[in-house]
Amino acid sequence: MRVLIAEDEFLVGFQLEEDLRSAGYSIVGPFTTLPTATQAARRERFDLAILDINLNGQMVYPLADELSARGIPFIFLSGYVSGDLPARFRRSPQLTKPHDPAALSKEIRTVLASRGAVADC
């Protein structure tokens, strides 16, 4: 399973990458800006995305909209609470920072299972 990471904080991105690799996932990224994450999402193959909501001052919602339209699942990982999200994303999978690696792996499995995908990890 390949996971795209969009995260602008270096240490958080590094920790996400390490946690996901340890769980057996292949990583695409991390990407620190909305334009680079969007470009990567258009050119790379991946099964799921982990999206920080605010990437260097730009909200990630256009990328989330694009992924939704393409049927690619994503999980928001942010300090924002669901009430702060636009109404269309309030029911989207979300974890708060700092993340718990076990909770992240569980949420990935839940999201993939709900989409009919089978996680190899």
Give pLDDT tens digits for 21-58: 999 999 999 999 999 999 999 999 999 999 999 999 99
Structure tokens at 106: 């569980």
Domain that holds residue 44: 2-114
Residue 90 lies in a domain: yes
Q: How confident is the model at residue 121 (pLDDT cuts 50, 70, 90)?
A: very low
Neighbours of 116 (CB within 10 A): 6
Encoded amino acid at 22, one letter? S
In a domain, 30, yes or no: yes
Q: pTM of the full predicted structure? A: 0.90
Check the CA dihedral 95-68-115-73 and report its sign: negative
Q: What is the DSSP letter of 100?
A: P
Split into its structural domains, the chain has a count of: 1
Q: Is the residue at 37 inside a domain?
A: yes
DSSP state of 99: P
Report pLDDT digits (tens) over 66-119: 999 999 999 999 876 666 789 899 889 999 888 899 999 999 999 988 877 555
Q: Taking the C-alpha atoms of 90, 86, 48 and 18 in order, what is their torsion angle to the nearest 10 degrees? A: -90
What tokens does 49 get? 């995305």
